């Protein structure tokens, strides 16, 4: 009897405890129990959806030290510590809380669903299904796991060609390139019958990235029937890029190799480049970028290029717009790891338009900097102009006592039409100084320039943490802080011919091969939200919008090398076939697969057709905020990839309106409709420097029927109807290859 009474008491006690937590789901209730039993950290942060009075919920979130993200109606998304659950549960303003992670399945369909590829693969939004058959996706990456089942089918390997640039010359060195070893499908099938050679851990790490990228774009789920890529029937070409010993043409070699091999197969080709360099002019005017543009254009239709934007959304860019009489400066730190094994240096690379920089005077300064203070060490005591530094110069610099502080080597050039490049590399005698670029403007227009310095360890100095008092040090009011704009990779990613991809969070969890649920490491990461560590746009001069589009690319599951999956561990999913990875590297191949699906449906589409339709059908949500077709953003581009709409709502003959800038470009025609002549007014005065601008008129089939060159960035032109029959046309404002605005035109 005593035992029965004791059991009843326990039951009543348990029921009472549960009754106080009925507003929570099972997941949150378990978290609270663990906390009450001292099994969970009181500050464990819990993302959740919560229903109730939004005003009261906001107050509770603020009091708990949590994060209120957004709300729709009476439901909000919040992040709170586990120790705040009792207060939320007890509040009359809260009716329901749900915290269970919504994506527990070890499937990549979460990525395909978010990017609306699933509807294309199953044909639910189109007359038939598409899967990439007959299309090549080429990769410039670290390599590929040839024996992974997701890259094979009944015919053997799906890898049609493989070039490993890391290998020495030999019998399989590709003709015309002179280095590395390359194989075709027949040779690869023979190689795959040989015993597996276990690579070392470094090699595994290297080709692991390429396997992940390729799996996201075109894995066929043959390994375990679960993770499937965006274009699972596509053919594969891989160039294993040599990241250790690079030359100026190695990347363009890879581009040429892939497109040439695709031509030999008679198939359209999309190249995915999940690699890049954060230095450079960020305006696609470097020779590598120009070369890649030219290779893409050499054979159209059938060539598309997709690239990752980059993962360095940190302050390493300085943009200044000096008014007459303004003086500013920014520090750059000595970086010991640059150009190893050579001595390190402080690097200050400057890019500017000639008209913006001709009136700028500048000098290099040297300062002893400590937290809370700094003292000047004179170097160049007078200000110079760009004309004084054209060409190469080497200068020894001294302080007022005649002691040498270091050696400054500089190079000033006109690196492209109307643009300067000026770089200072400073080898210091002491590594305890900060080196500064100080500039003033003497002209009547803005003296603009850009600097990017992302060193191996140190680069441009974000002075926010130095706590320097501007009252005690009034000159410090002129310090120009670095920012996160224009932090996309600096070469081909800035090309108007390349689709440059941003990323957002894909999932929260996956189930590993032990059956355990593995969670994304940061509880504040929310599926669908922007990944703040990623790079931002636009291109230099603000005249090309970058990035172009966003895709779900963080915490994706994709093909893993065999050396990753030896034994069952928490780093791989069921059967050890796939592992999680993230970044713009993993978002880019999703867009590449979408481009391949588009080419499968429209094999005669050009690169501009594919890009226009992907951008024109991108969707927006609560995370993208004000992003739209008329107002793309430097974070999201034109929005999130919607593959189904790109294929179903936008054929290659459509000319959707694509704005290329957040500036209010103007384009209009009057009269419209017209019979004989119309006057087209245009205004892109937000772009100060350009090489070529014109009005391009298209018919309904996308054929160019008229081009009118423009001399200025605003004005009007008169257009007659010569060779234009009655009907509907579109006319676009084009500047340096970028389509800024498109409008409809009717000829009567």
The model's pLDDT over 271-328, given as tens digits with 9 standing for 90+, comes to 999 998 888 889 988 888 888 888 898 888 999 999 999 988 889 999 998 888 899 9
Highest mean pLDDT among 76-80, 380-384, 478-482, 517-521: 478-482
- C-alpha distances in Å from residue 262, one per residue of 270, 271, 289, 724: 9, 10, 21, 38
Q: Which two tokens stand for residue 331?
A: 């520090």
Helix (H, G, I), strand (E, B) or coil at 152: strand
Eight-state DSSP code of residue 1: -
Lowest mean pLDDT among 4-18, 20-34, 373-387, 477-491: 4-18
**Region 421-450: what's the mean pLDDT?**
89
Lowest mean pLDDT among 164-178, 190-204, 326-340, 393-407: 190-204
User: What is the model's pLDDT at position 565?
Assistant: 59
Lowest mean pLDDT among 337-351, 491-505, 548-562, 707-721: 337-351
Q: Tell me how far apart the alpha carbons of residues 578 and 584 are, in angstroms, rounded to a whole number.
A: 18
Instruction: Give the residue from 94, 96, 71, 66 showing the smallest Cα distance to 82.
Output: 66
Q: Tell me how far apart the alpha carbons of residues 745 and 748 are, in angstroms, rounded to a whole number.
A: 10
At residue 200 the predicted structure's pLDDT band, cuts being 50, 70 and 90, is very low
Whether 8 has a pLDDT exceeding 70, the answer reads no
Highest mean pLDDT among 72-81, 92-101, 583-592: 583-592
Q: Do 611 and 303 touch, CB atoms closer than 8 A?
A: no
At residue 660 the predicted structure's pLDDT band, cuts being 50, 70 and 90, is very low
**What are the percentages of helix, strand and coil residues in the chain, rounded to 5?**
25, 30, 45
What residue has token string 């509907």? 728
- Percent of the chain clearing pLDDT 70 (strictly above): 86
Q: Identify the bridge partners of residue 77 per DSSP, sorted by sequence position.
A: 49, 70
Lowest mean pLDDT among 112-121, 448-457, 585-594: 112-121
Lowest mean pLDDT among 3-17, 464-478, 535-549, 721-735: 3-17
Chain mean pLDDT for the chain: 82
HEC readout, 680-693: EEEECCCCCCCCCE
User: What is the model's pLDDT at position 18?
Assistant: 34
Domains of the chain: 20-98 (3.30.70.2980), 116-156+201-312+488-649 (3.40.50.200), 317-478 (2.60.120), 666-747 (2.60.40.1930)
Q: Do 671 and 657 touch, CB atoms closer than 8 A?
A: no
Q: Identify the bridge partners of residue 362 per DSSP, sorted by sequence position.
A: 384, 439
Write the pLDDT tens digit of every residue in 18-67.
333 468 775 687 788 778 888 667 778 887 777 889 899 999 999 999 98
In order, the DSSP letters of 415-444 are: EETTEEEEEEEEEES-TTEEEEEEEEE-SS
Instruction: Give the residue from 643, 642, 645, 623 showing the smallest Cα distance to 633.
Output: 623
648 C-beta neighbours (distance < 10 Å), count = 17
Q: Which two tokens stand for residue 2?
A: 């005593």
Q: Tell me how far apart the alpha carbons of residues 220 and 158 are, in angstroms, rounded to a whole number.
A: 10
Whether 533 has a pLDDT exceeding 80, the answer reads yes
Helix (H, G, I), strand (E, B) or coil at 308: strand
- Rounded to 5 degrees, φ, ψ at 373 are -160, 165
In the sheet with 714-720, reading across from the earlier edge strand, the strands are 666-670, 677-683, 714-720
Whether 3 has a pLDDT exceeding 80, the answer reads no
- Percent of the chain clearing pLDDT 90 (strictly above): 33
Whether 518 has a pLDDT exceeding 80, the answer reads no
Q: Which two tokens stand for residue 603?
A: 């094999």
User: What is the model's pLDDT at position 267?
Assistant: 96
Whether 510 has a pLDDT exceeding 80, the answer reads no
User: What is the model's pLDDT at position 106?
Assistant: 19
User: What is the model's pLDDT at position 20?
Assistant: 39
Q: Is the peptide bond before 687 cis (omega within 30 degrees of 0)?
A: no
User: What is the model's pLDDT at position 482?
Assistant: 92
Highest mean pLDDT among 8-12, 38-42, 590-594: 590-594
Q: Which two tokens stand for residue 703?
A: 């054929």
User: What is the model's pLDDT at position 738?
Assistant: 64
Q: Which two tokens stand for residue 106?
A: 């070890």
């Amino acid at each position: 009897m005593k035992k029965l009474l004791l059991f009843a008491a326990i039951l009543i006690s348990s029921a009472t405890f549960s009754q106080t937590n009925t507003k929570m789901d099972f997941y949150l209730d378990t978290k609270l129990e663990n906390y009450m039993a001292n099994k969970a950290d009181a500050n464990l942060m819990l993302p959740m959806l919560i229903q109730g009075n939004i005003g009261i919920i906001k107050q509770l979130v603020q009091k708990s030290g949590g994060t209120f993200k957004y709300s729709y109606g009476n439901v909000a998304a919040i992040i709170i510590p586990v120790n705040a659950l009792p207060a939320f549960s007890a509040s009359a303003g809260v009716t329901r809380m749900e915290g269970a992670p919504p994506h527990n399945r070890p499937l990549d369909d979460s990525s395909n669903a978010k990017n609306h590829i699933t509807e294309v693969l199953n044909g639910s939004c189109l007359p038939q299904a598409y899967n990439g058959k007959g299309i090549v996706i080429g990769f410039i990456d670290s390599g590929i796991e040839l024996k992974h089942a997701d890259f094979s089918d009944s015919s053997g390997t799906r890898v049609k060609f493989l070039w490993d640039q890391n290998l020495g010359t030999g019998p399989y060195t590709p003709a015309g390139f002179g280095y590395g070893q390359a194989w075709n499908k027949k040779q690869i099938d023979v190689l795959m019958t040989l015993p597996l050679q276990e690579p070392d851990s470094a090699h595994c790490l290297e080709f692991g990235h390429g396997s992940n990228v390729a799996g996201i774009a075109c894995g066929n789920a043959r390994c375990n029937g679960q993770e499937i890529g965006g274009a699972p029937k596509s053919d594969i070409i891989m160039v294993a890029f040599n990241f250790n010993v690079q030359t100026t043409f190695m990347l363009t070699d890879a581009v040429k190799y892939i497109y040439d091999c695709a031509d030999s197969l008679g198939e359209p080709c999309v190249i995915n480049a999940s690699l890049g360099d954060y230095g450079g002019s960020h305006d696609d005017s470097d020779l590598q970028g120009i070369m890649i543009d030219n290779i893409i254009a050499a054979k159209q239709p059938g060539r598309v290029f997709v690239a990752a934007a980059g993962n360095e959304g940190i302050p390493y860019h300085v943009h200044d717009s000096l008014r007459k009489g303004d003086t500013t400066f920014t520090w750059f730190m000595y970086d010991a790891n640059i150009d190893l094994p050579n001595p390190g240096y402080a690097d200050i690379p400057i890019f500017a338009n000639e008209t913006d920089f001709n009136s700028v005077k500048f000098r290099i300064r040297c300062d002893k900097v400590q937290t809370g203070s700094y003292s000047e060490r004179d170097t160049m005591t007078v200000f110079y102009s760009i004309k004084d530094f054209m060409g190469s110069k080497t200068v020894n610099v001294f302080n007022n006592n005649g002691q040498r502080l270091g050696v400054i080597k500089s190079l000033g050039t006109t690196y492209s039409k109307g643009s300067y490049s000026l770089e200072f590399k400073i080898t210091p005698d002491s590594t305890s100084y900060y080196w500064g670029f100080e500039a003033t403007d003497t002209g009547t227009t803005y003296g603009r320039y850009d600097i990017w310095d992302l060193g191996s360890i140190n680069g441009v100095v974000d002075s926010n943490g130095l706590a320097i008092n501007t009252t005690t040090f009034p000159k410090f009011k002129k310090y120009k802080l670095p920012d996160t704009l224009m932090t996309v990779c600096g070469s081909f990613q800035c090309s108007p011919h390349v689709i440059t991809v941003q990323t957002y969070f894909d999932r929260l969890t996956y189930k590993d091969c032990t059956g355990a649920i593995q969670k994304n490491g940061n509880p504040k990461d929310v599926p669908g939200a922007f990944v703040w560590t990623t790079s931002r746009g636009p291109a230099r001069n603000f005249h090309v919008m970058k990035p172009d589009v966003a895709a779900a690319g963080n915490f994706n599951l994709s093909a893993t090398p065999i050396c990753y999956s030896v034994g069952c561990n928490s780093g791989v999913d069921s059967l050890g076939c796939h592992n999680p990875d993230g970044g713009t590297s993993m978002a880019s191949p999703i867009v590449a697969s979408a481009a391949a699906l588009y080419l499968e449906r429209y094999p005669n589409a050009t690169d501009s057709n594919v890009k226009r339709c992907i951008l024109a059908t991108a969707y927006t949500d609560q995370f993208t905020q004000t992003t739209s077709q008329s107002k793309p953003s430097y974070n999201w581009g034109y929005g999130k990839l919607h593959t189904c709409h790109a294929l179903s709502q936008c054929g290659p003959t459509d000319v959707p309106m694509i704005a290329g800038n957040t500036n209010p470009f103007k384009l209009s025609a009057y009269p419209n409709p017209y019979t004989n002549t119309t006057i087209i007014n245009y205004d892109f005065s937000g772009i100060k420097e350009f090489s070529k601008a014109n009005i391009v008129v298209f018919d309904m089939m996308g054929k160019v029927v008229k081009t009118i060159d423009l001399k200025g960035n605003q004005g009007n032109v008169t257009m007659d109807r010569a060779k234009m029959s009655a009907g509907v046309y579109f006319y676009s404002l084009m500047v340096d290859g970028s389509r800024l605005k498109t409008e409809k035109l009717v000829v009567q």
